[in-house]
Structure 1
Amino acid sequence: MLRWDRNRGLDPRTDYEQIYRNLSQYDFPWDFNQSLSFALFRTYAVPSIGRLLFESRGFEDTQKRYDDTALLLERPLVEGFDSADGKAAMRRINQMHRAYDISNDDMLYVLATFVVVPKRWIDDYGWRKMTYDEVTATVHYYRKLGRHMNIKDMPETYEEFADLMDAYEAEHFAYDEGGRHVADLTLELLTTFYPKPARPAVQLFSRALMDEPLLTAFDYQRPSALVRRLSLGAMAARAAFLRLMPPRLRAKDFESSSRMKTYRAGEIETERLGTFPGGCPVPHTAVAGASSADGAVEASTSAATVTS
């Protein structure tokens, strides 16, 4: 079986959950993890989002916040929106958002980044491009997620999502101390996934893959032209290497990833994930091996990892 045949014959209008699962867990697991993290990272450059995250103190414990967010988004993907865990995850996501005054426009923008950023990332760095049907399935998948979150006025096509995201960023990207602090904590978390000697390079690689509006919004120093060329070269070399590899036969999920450090795989209770601004109704016991973290979703824009 050729790697790009996995979704052949599936209908993007009805089989979109399966198509998206194949993309994110078999064909592009590393790329989807990186690009979705990067998508969330972009949202911190919108002051109404970055400042809220800072003021709500949701980024004081970064590793746990990263783990909780990834696990909550993965539950509907792996188990299905209508499964017990899928429903529990959506309840938790909605409970957390309802605790704050978040505009539909901001929610819609974040949803748009989930649709657009991974497609652009894979176009630039993936071992192949996504097919038209795969892009269409992605739109259907996130429109379903948006319906579960009661997001209004969602676009119907990828092009409309892309136009919405670009226009929102052009209008709203701006420097904010709170958003910059959240971004810094996120990049700091990213470095912890690599050996200490590599961490300065991880930071540099991350900034080398950021576009000019994002660097300006965070007031980050621009990497040199040489660093950018080396970063893009590393990503191109990785893509070329992966084209020669056989298809992945086992799903790669976040729960079994070495980057998930707060919980033991297989012992996670979806109802206890996330933050409880009004106080958690469920009694908590200490989780063995848990980090002291409750903070950011990783913006792992790094090219430092060269294999999937």
Structure 2
Amino acid sequence: MDVVAVQVETWLRAFTAFAQNKRLAQGFLQKGLQRKKWIIVGGGILSYLMWVRYRRYKYIVMIRKKYPNPLDVLNNPEIAQEIHATTMKKEFPSTELALFKTFTIPTISKLLVATKQFEHDASRRAEDTELLLNEIVDTYGRIQKQLQKDPDTPEEDIQAQWKRPTLALERLNELHGKYSILNEDYIYTLSLFIFEPISWINRFEWRTLDEREINALFRVWYDVGIAMKMKDVPDTPEKMLAFKNMYAQKKIAYAPSNWKCGEPTVRHLLSNLPRCLQETAYTLSLYVLPSVLDTEDVVAFRLPHAESKLITYLFRATMFLRALFIRYWMLPRSHYVNRTPFYATTTSTGVDRYVPEFDYYQRRIYKDGYLISELGPDHFKPPFCHEAVIQPSFCPSLLAKK
């Protein structure tokens, strides 16, 4: 019996050891699978981050190789248009403060208040201004976007696009010609269109601008200034920046008209919110604006609240985290963000009109389309149709004669 007992005890010990070893093996196996899973997940994340990094910086690496001399961008308007379109309509198609900051110059704000456009319909004025400027500077991006959709787009349709900036400039000059605007105010506004986006991007976006991109912004808007018949336009980025700083120091000052332009603009920017929240959002914006604007602009608007260090910190921290997220986690855009369409849409009356490709605000001012020559106040609409230079279907009077 002792022998049997010993044998049974031996079997039990062997079974227990086997069970323990099996559990141990299973534990090692499970840990190995978990480790392998985390290796796969970590490798996937690392691969994605490397892919984002490559794609994010592919464009800027490309233009540095394509145009090794940054001065080539200044001297060649076609190169400038190419780089401007990609930088401002793919890399950084964000809203900036250029137009808003013009309101801190009393000679500008008083004239704008006198037109009564802000009083009657600030949203309409903002839309007219944006579409006119887009028609002037968006041609290259609009063509490239169309070629992405349809590489076989007829050449005559492409060439017709280059007539649109001329029409828009003629319309802009026509509207401005009805007022007495100081040449220096023109140039200062031009300088804001160049350097406010540069300042905003370099402070808050996911990378800073390359010298070629800065030169492209300058050249595109310099050409606009020349086409608008401005006199003594500074002919280098350095000279333009010096003029901007000098004129701001000399001319930015408080005037009641400043906020009469600023307030309707802020309310317009908040118009997408539910009506019950708009007034609260406007009140909050008066606390935030001093953290966004320069000190002299806050003084010129005579905003009711001084800059809060806490709000400034929260604003800058938010923008910093946003920039990090975009830089490391978001793939770049593959298309140009253009509101102006390549082709016009034929309306029910048989007239072709440009319908914006998208709207920032719920109120769609041009949901039925627009003609370039009719942008601006209704009482300044032209007596004849300018768009006939593009195609007769824009002009119902020409169609009626056929």
Q: TM-score, normalised by structure 2?
A: 0.65
Report what 2:185 is aligned to: 106
Pair member with larger Rg: 2
d(CA) in 2 for partners of 1:64, 1:278:
14
Say if 1:277 and 1:258 are closer, same or farther in 2 by CA, change over 3 A.
Answer: closer
Q: Is the 8 A contact 1:54 1:182 kept in 2?
A: yes
Report what 2:99 is aligned to: 40
More deviation, 158-167/135-144: 158-167
Report what 2:371 is aligned to: 269
Task: Spell out, residue by residue over 1:102-148, the C-alpha distance to the aligned partner (whole angstroms, 9 max, x if none).
Answer: 11111111111111111111111111111001101111111110111
d(CA) in 2 for partners of 1:251, 1:202:
30
Q: Structure 2 matches for 1:65-144, cutoff 5 A?
A: 65-79=125-139, 83-144=162-223
Mark the runs of 5 or more structure 1 residues left unpaired by the alignment. Answer: 284-308
Report what 1:216 is aligned to: 299
Q: Is the 8 A contact 2:374 2:381 kept in 1?
A: no
Task: Spell out, residue by residue over 1:73-122, the C-alpha distance to the aligned partner (whole angstroms, 9 max, x if none).
Answer: 11122226972221111111101111011111111111111111111111
d(CA) in 2 for partners of 1:238, 1:202:
20
Report what 1:5 is aligned to: 58
Q: Secondary structure at the match of 2:138?
A: helix
d(CA) in 2 for partners of 1:157, 1:181:
34
More deviation, 70-79/142-151: 70-79
1:256 to 354, 357, 368: 357
Report what 1:242 is aligned to: 326
What amino acid sits opposite 1:257 in the alignment?
A: F
1:275 is displaced (CA, Å) by: 2.4
Answering whether residue 309 of structure 2 is matched by residue 230 of structure 1, we say: no
Higher helix share: 2
Q: Is the 8 A contact 2:106 2:253 kept in 1?
A: yes
Q: Is the 8 A contact 1:79 1:86 kept in 2?
A: yes
Report what 1:199 is aligned to: 281
More deviation, 130-139/254-263: 254-263
d(CA) in 2 for partners of 1:186, 1:104:
24
Q: Secondary structure at the match of 2:289?
A: helix
What amino acid sits opposite 1:41 in the alignment?
A: F
Task: Spell out, residue by residue over 1:268-304, the C-alpha distance to the aligned partner (whole angstroms, 9 max, x if none).
Answer: 2111111266564369xxxxxxxxxxxxxxxxxxxxx
- Alignment length, in residue pairs? 277
1:188 is displaced (CA, Å) by: 1.1
d(CA) in 2 for partners of 1:106, 1:184:
21
Say if 1:213 and 1:92 are closer, same or farther in 2 by CA, change over 3 A.
Answer: same
Say if 1:192 and 1:206 are closer, same or farther in 2 by CA, change over 3 A.
Answer: farther
What amino acid sits opposite 1:262 in the alignment?
A: I
Q: Is the 8 A contact 2:194 2:217 kept in 1?
A: yes
Say if 1:57 and 1:25 are closer, same or farther in 2 by CA, change over 3 A.
Answer: same
Percent identity over the alignment? 25
Say if 1:199 and 1:56 are closer, same or farther in 2 by CA, change over 3 A.
Answer: same
Q: Is the 8 A contact 1:3 1:247 kept in 2?
A: yes
What amino acid sits opposite 1:2 in the alignment?
A: R
Q: TM-score, normalised by structure 1?
A: 0.83
